């Protein structure tokens, strides 16, 4: 039986799966006297499958690496292809691994991971990571940290992949993503720097999510807000704020599915290769030996009924 850690206060009920990449099993908010799944809930039968979780962690890079290859500091590295259908490496390494619980309470959980304790990590450099989940009043806080445990500099990136409930009785979800740039992509891969966001993807002002498919990468953040979601039928608003290190936001909304994703991430898709090519604004950071980068994401829930 996969271990489940539950955090709860008067606003949030959150389930965390340490053995499944420190993934989120569910994220519920109070609606009257009931708990309502605002994040895509995980079937307990899938508690060992991070891909079906409400959110999973992306470390030591986020999203895709073309052909599983990247160059850094004059050397080429080949990663394992973990998305064979597309022939690429995706979503980092840690989401399918067991994390260690460093501390736990009814409203806070801290977990750690060290690549040196595993022989088959899909990354050529040694690193450690820390994940924090905390309930702070009306805020569900998710913290991530990546540390270089190697003897030389390494490239890095991280992010979260939270899914949210898409359909509800009576009204469409309203979405705002206050970014003024996006990447023109082919097969979910950018080939150049970001450009001004087109009208069809302009979510700078709150608007219905709609039914069109989305799999788009935004940057040029205009505020600390990465995303804002309003559920009129529930009189509920979720505002996602994130630290400046999360330079990018991915919006993924597949056709016909009862969920969508708003993903705060540090680096662009195929960021390592874009960085090597000298493309500006990739969000890839370079860690010196012993150096750590970290950042917080907050999901703030508010009742809009007045």
Question: 194-219 pLDDT, tens per residue?
Answer: 999 999 999 999 999 988 899 999 99
> Domains of the chain (ranges plus CATH)?
5-303 (2.70.98.10)
With cut-offs at 50, 70 and 90, classify the pLDDT of residue 56: very high
Average pLDDT over residues 282-291: 98
Q: What is the mean pLDDT of residues 121-133?
A: 98
Cα–Cα distance between 9 and 11 in angstroms, integer?
6
Token pair for 25: 């099993």
Per-residue pLDDT, 267: 98
Instruction: Please give the share of the chain, as a percent, with pLDDT higher than 90.
Output: 89
pLDDT at 168: 67
pTM reported for the whole predicted model: 0.96
Which of these, 204, 296, 289, 293, lies nearest to 251 by C-alpha position?
A: 204
Name the token pair of 51.
Answer: 């891909």
Residue-level pLDDT at 187: 87
SS3 labels along the chain: CCCCEEEECCCEEEEEECCCCCEEEEEEEEECCEEEECECCCCHHHCCCHHHCCECEEECCCCEEECCEEEECCEEEECCCCECCCCEEECECHHHCCCEEEEECCCEEEEEEEHHHCCCCCCCCCEEEEEEEEEECCEEEEEEEEEECCCCCEEECCEECCEEECCCCCCCCEEECCEEEECCEECCEECCCCEECCHHHCCCCCEECCCCCEEEEEEEECCCEEEEEEEHHHCEEEEEEECCCCCEEEEEECCCCCEEEEEEECCCCCHHHHHHCCCCCCCCEEECCCCEEEEEEEEEEEECCC
Residues 143-167 pLDDT 10s: 999 999 999 999 999 999 999 999 7
The pLDDT of residue 177 is above 70: yes
pLDDT digits (tens, 9 = 90+) for 13-52: 999 999 999 999 999 999 889 999 999 999 999 999 999 9
Handedness of CA 140, 113, 159, 295 (dihedral sign): positive
Phi, psi of 164 (to 5 degrees): -125, 155
pLDDT in tens, 35-45: 999 999 999 99
């Amino acid at each position: 039986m996969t271990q489940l850690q539950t955090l709860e206060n008067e606003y949030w009920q959150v389930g965390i799966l340490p053995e499944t990449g420190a993934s989120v099993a569910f994220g519920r908010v109070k609606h009257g006297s009931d708990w309502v799944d605002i994040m895509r809930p995980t079937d307990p039968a899938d508690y060992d499958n991070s891909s079906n979780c409400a959110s999973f962690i992306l470390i030591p890079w986020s999203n895709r690496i073309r052909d599983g290859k990247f160059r850094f500091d004059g050397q080429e590295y080949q990663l394992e292809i973990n998305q064979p259908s597309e022939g690429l490496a995706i979503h980092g390494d840690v989401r399918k691994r067991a994390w260690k619980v460093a501390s736990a309470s009814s409203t806070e959980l801290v977990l750690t991971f060290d690549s040196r304790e595993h022989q088959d990590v899909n990354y050529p450099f040694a690193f450690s990571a820390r994940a924090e989940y905390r309930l702070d009043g009306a805020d569900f806080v998710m913290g991530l940290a990546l540390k270089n445990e190697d003897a030389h500099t390494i490239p890095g990136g991280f992010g979260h992949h939270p899914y949210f409930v898409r359909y509800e009785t009576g009204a469409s979800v309203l979405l705002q993503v206050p970014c003024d740039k996006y990447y023109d992509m082919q097969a979910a891969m950018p080939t150049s720097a970001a450009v001004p966001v087109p009208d069809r993807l302009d979510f700078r002002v709150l608007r219905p999510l709609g039914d069109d498919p989305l799999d788009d990468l935004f940057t040029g953040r205009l505020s600390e807000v990465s995303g804002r979601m309003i559920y009129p039928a529930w009189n509920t608003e979720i505002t996602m704020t994130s630290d400046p290190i999360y330079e990018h936001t991915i919006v993924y909304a597949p056709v016909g599915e009862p969920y969508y994703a708003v993903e705060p991430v540090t680096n662009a898709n195929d960021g390592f290769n874009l960085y090597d090519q000298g493309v500006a604004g990739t969000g890839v950071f370079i860690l010196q030996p012993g150096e750590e980068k970290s950042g917080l994401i907050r999901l703030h829930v508010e009742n809009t009924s007045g």
